[in-house]
Amino acid sequence: MKGYHGKFLEVDLTSKTTQDLPLSEDFCKKYIGGATMAAALVYERVHPETDPLSPDNPMVMATGPFTGTPIPMVSRYAVAGISPLTGFWGEATSGGVFPFRLKGSGWDGLIVTGKADGPVYLFLNNGRAEIRDASALWGEDSYETQNIIKADLSDDKVSVACIGPAGEKQIRYACIMNDKGRAAGRCGMGALMGSKNLKAVAVAGNKRPAFADAGKVGELAKQAIKDINGNLVAVAFREYGTLMYMDMGMTLGDTPAKYFTKSVFPVGDVTGQALRQRYSVANYACRGCPIGCGRDLKQYKPGLDVDGPEYETTVAFGPLCMNTNFDSIIEANHLCNVHGIDTISAGVSVAYAIYLYEQGALTKDRVGFELKWGDDEAILKLIEMIVNQKGIGELLSRGTLAMARELDRDDGEAAQIKGLEVPMHDGRAFHGLAVSYATGPRGACHLKGDYYNVDLGNMVLEYMILPSDRLVSEGKGEPAAKFQSFKDLFDALTLCKFAPLQVPQLCEMLNALTGWEFSPEDLLKAGDRSVNIKRAVSSKFGLTREHDTIPKICRDALDEGTTAGIQPDLETMLKEYYQYRGWDWETGKPTKEKLIDLGLNQAAEDLYS
């Protein structure tokens, strides 16, 4: 087989054994790689009673056929399992050097089950796998853990993905950190890793599978680099990182403020430009990326460089909490990174606490101090309490749905979908985004539901996904479903979502690497299959159509800004979406016919037995 090693490493931490899991070429062709291949592996291994924090819940880390090749913007990996936060399908992705080295270690990925009897870390190096003692690392923060392991292995080329103390405590939205501040942030994959007593995965080596047509791969990679360097958006990403969207997002009503109840807020102090003007910013890039959207804030404090906050983080601790103090946002980001928690879920939970305080549902007695919009000291205090699970922080560490239920509030007030906190884009500003959010395979997801990109002009002609009036709902369901499938495929190929590459290019690349003959139609079908296998995993855990919704707090029409008085018509879009997907309107499950058409015969049998 070309483009793949053709094997995963299976690790059972209970028995401390490892073995190779061979992958057939048919399996690779069907599920491609990354999060999609992880979904197929998870599907086979879980049943409705699998507790997300039990040894039975597999944690899968997966690369894809593009990872580790000369193609730019592909050093990404996916980590997946049943989410400790949502109880449904969970996945997160991250870039950096780690994915490049993971593929170089000699496997396409790994599946970890069981639970070690004490802290351990894994070391995968050029086809050799070791389970090593990590007792001395338990309690260390995510940056220190990476430093200590690299020093311990005396190899600077080692790359480490690890949990911080939050993952050890199994905080429901703990994340996995790699290459300093890169995060596989969403769905609580750090809690899953912590539940196995697995502190880190270290990878090294340069084993690379052969390509079907190495010359063609080289040519395509060169052309792709040229295309990326000539792309205007890519240039803006380089200068301002993801924060380049802040001004535009607020102008369009897409950047939420005051816990999703406002869309007008002065963001001038917290933009990508402001970051450049106030701090000493250096770029960093995932391996092989000519953009480098990462921000390193040099000497943020004497002797301390920190990672710059992304757009999502800045909005979550900024406008969403009515906070314009950039220093406090940078500190909030650093605190989350050090402990290893998802900045989106943390920020939304903090904003919800302030909202609840304003409503009188939380009191000074319960919190220990006053909560006010824009109070940056209170925001930082709440994050400290979350990571230490102290006082009210314990409740906030369980996310907004748990907060609403414990405080006897309406579920619709919790800004989450399927238990995953809503990211920093607003479905009222782009109706295609609303239906993508409602149906996202992992819950509210801006990365596969980034329909704002379409309505801002990034069309996908091959699939007739065309820009249209962003505030119109009718007719959005089908293109939103196709775009979601297309973006889901990025996480199978392990391609960065910011890569401005076209469908024919992706087909050519996949074919040159593997020797297959994928057409644009095959690629879309693979994306549809990907969404459906993830849906089948969640269906096993009781997901229904009722879960495909937007909470009231994120749906009620606002009385200000460019979206004033406008609400997405979710029902209409969902019907169109279901029609395209071939999902049953009553149960929310993929129909048997659809599953069989996609080759998901086992799922068809399981869901309809």
Closer by beta carbon to ligand SF4, 90 or else 241 = 241
Question: Which residues contact ligand SF4 by CB under 6 A?
Answer: 73, 95, 237, 285-286, 289, 291-294, 496, 498
> Rounded CA gap, 439 and 465, in Å?
18
Of 74 and 341, which has the nearer Cβ to ligand SF4?
74
| Least gap, CB of 203 to ligand SF4 (angstroms) | 17
- Rank residues 39 and 286 by Cβ distance to ligand SF4 and give the closer one: 286
Nearer CB in complex with ligand SF4: 75/436:
75
Contacts of 276 (CB under 8 A, 6+ apart): 239, 240
Least distance to ligand SF4 from the beta carbon of 289, Å? 3
3-state SS, residue 132:
strand
**Closer to ligand SF4 by Cβ: residue 292 or 520:** 292
Nearer to ligand SF4, 293 or 315 (CB): 293
User: For residue 420, what is the enclosing H or E element?
Assistant: strand 420-421
| Complex with ligand SF4: residue 237 or 463, whichever CB lies closer | 237
- Joined together, the tokens standing for residue 600 give 């998901």
**Cα dist from 348 to 166, 314, 353, 404, 487, whole Å:** 17, 12, 9, 13, 24
For residue 177 the two structure tokens come to: 């950190």
Least CB distance to ligand SF4 at residue 394 (A): 33
Q: How far is the CB of 335 from ligand SF4 (least distance, A)?
A: 22
For ligand SF4, the closer CB: 487 or 540: 487
The token pair at 418 is: 């399927």
Nearer to ligand SF4, 211 or 237 (CB): 237
Work out how close the CB of 97 gets to ligand SF4 at its nearest, in angstroms, rounded to a whole number.
10
- In the complex, least distance from residue 526 CB atom to ligand SF4, rounded to whole angstroms: 22
Tell me which H or E stretch contains 358.
Answer: helix 343-359
Instruction: Please give the full DSSP string across 49-66, using - where no structure is assigned.
Output: T--TTSTTS-EEEE--SS
Q: Two tokens at 552? A: 């009231």
- Cα–Cα distance for residue pair 274/262, rounded to 1 Å: 22
Q: Going along 58-213, which residue ranges are E strands?
A: 59-62, 76-82, 89-95, 109-113, 120-125, 128-133, 159-162, 176-178, 182-184, 198-204
**Min dist. Cβ of residue 439 to ligand SF4 (A):** 25
The minimum distance between CB 453 and ligand SF4, in angstroms, equals: 14
Question: Tokens for 330?
Answer: 């940078």
Q: How far is the CB of 499 from ligand SF4 (least distance, A)?
A: 7
Does residue 122 contact residue 202 with C-beta atoms inside 8 Å? yes
Residue 96: CB minimum distance to ligand SF4, A: 7
Quick one: which of 435, 478, 439 has its CA closest to 460?
478
Question: What letter does residue 335 receive in the DSSP assignment?
Answer: H
- Contact 572/557 with Cβ under 8 angstroms? no
Q: Which is nearer to ligand SF4, 265 or 498 (CB)?
A: 498
Using DSSP's 3-state secondary structure scheme, residue 231 falls into coil
